[in-house]
Chain A
Amino acid sequence: MPAPGYILVLLLTVIFTLATWLQPLAVAWTKGRAQSNNLLAVTLGDARRLFANHFFIKADVYFHSGYYPSIFDQGRTNQLHIAEQAGQGPGAHQGKTPEEEEKEEDFLGPPRDWIDKFGRNFYLTEHTHLSGGHEDEMLPWLKIAAELDPQKVEVYTVASYWLRGKLNRPDAARDFLREGLRANPNSYEILLELGRVYAENYHDPDRARNLWQLAERKLKAHERATGEVDIINERQILLYRAQLEEAQGNYQAAADAIERLCLVLPGTHAVEREELEKRRAELLQKANTSPATPAKP
Chain B
Amino acid sequence: MNNIFAIGSITIKELYRRKDFYVLFVLSALITLMAGSAHFFHDDKIVRYLKELCLLLIWIAALVIAITTAARQLPAEREQRTIFPLLAKPVSRAQVLLGKFLGCWLAVGLALVMFYAFLGVVSASREHAWPLEYYIQALWLQWMMLAVVIALALLGSIVFAAPSSNGTICLVTVVGILLLGGHLHEVALERPEPMQSFLSTLYFLIPHLEWFDVRDLVVHESGLVAWWAVGAASVYAMVYAGFLLFAAWVLFRRKALN
Contact = CB atoms under 8 A, between A and B. Distances in A.
Partners in one complex: yes
16 contacts: A62-B220, A66-B220, A66-B222, A70-B183, A119-B182, A121-B226, A122-B141, A122-B212, A124-B217, A136-B46, A137-B46, A139-B41, A139-B46, A140-B38, A143-B41, A169-B41
Interface in B137-187: 141, 182-183, 185-187
Nearest to A112: B185
A115 interface: yes
B229 A118 contact: yes
A176 interface: yes
Chain B CB within 10 Å — which of A118, A123, A124 has the most? A123
B5 interface: no
Interface in B169-228: 182-183, 185-187, 189, 203-204, 208, 210-214, 216-217, 219-220, 222-223, 225-226
A115 B177 CA distance: 14
Interface in A130-148: 136-137, 139-141, 143
A172 B46 contact: no
The list of the 8 closest CB pairs from A to B, nearest first, reads A66-B216, A121-B229, A65-B220, A72-B183, A140-B49, A137-B48, A172-B41, A140-B40
Interface in A86-120: 112-113, 115-116, 118-119
A38 interface: no
A139 B185 contact: no
B42 interface: yes
B88 interface: no
A191 interface: no
Interface string B14-28: 000000000000000
B43 interface: yes
Given A113-B185, A122-B212, A141-B49, 16 more contacts: A62-B48, A66-B217, A72-B187, A112-B185, A112-B189, A115-B182, A118-B232, A119-B210, A121-B226, A122-B213, A122-B225, A122-B233, A128-B222, A136-B41, A139-B46, A140-B49
A112 B214 contact: no
B45 interface: yes
Chain B CB within 10 Å — which of A66, A122, A140, A141 has the most? A122
Interface class of chain B by DSSP: helix
Contacts of B223: 124
A258 to B, nearest CB: 36
Contact of A139 (B43, B208, B217): B43
Given A116-B182, A137-B49, A141-B49, A123 B217 contact: yes
Interface of A: 62, 65-67, 70, 72, 112-113, 115-116, 118-119, 121-124, 128, 136-137, 139-141, 143, 163, 169, 172, 176
Interface string B218-258: 01101101100100110000000000000000000000000
Contacts of B38: 140
Nearest to A130: B220
A116 B186 CA distance: 10
Interface residues of B, number: 36
B42 A124 contact: no
B204 A139 contact: no
Given A65-B222, A112-B186, A122 B41 contact: no
Nearest to B179: A70
Contact of A72 (B49, B186, B216): B186
A62 B43 CA distance: 17
Contacts of A124: 216-217, 220, 222-223
A137 B185 CA distance: 34
Contacts of A65: 216, 220, 222
A66 to B, nearest CB: 4
Contacts of B208: 115, 119
A60 to B, nearest CB: 13
Contacts of B42: 172
A173 to B, nearest CB: 9
A136 B185 contact: no
A136 B216 contact: no
Nearest to B190: A72
A90 to B, nearest CB: 28
A207 B50 CA distance: 38
Contacts of A67: 222
Contacts of A112: 185-186, 189
Chain A CB within 10 Å — which of B203, B214, B220, B225 has the most? B220
Contact of A119 (B40, B48, B186, B211): B211
Nearest to B141: A122
Contacts of A137: 46-49
A20 to B, nearest CB: 35
A228 to B, nearest CB: 33
A118 B225 CA distance: 11
Interface string B45-75: 1111100000000000000000000000000
A123 B45 contact: no
Nearest to A163: B41
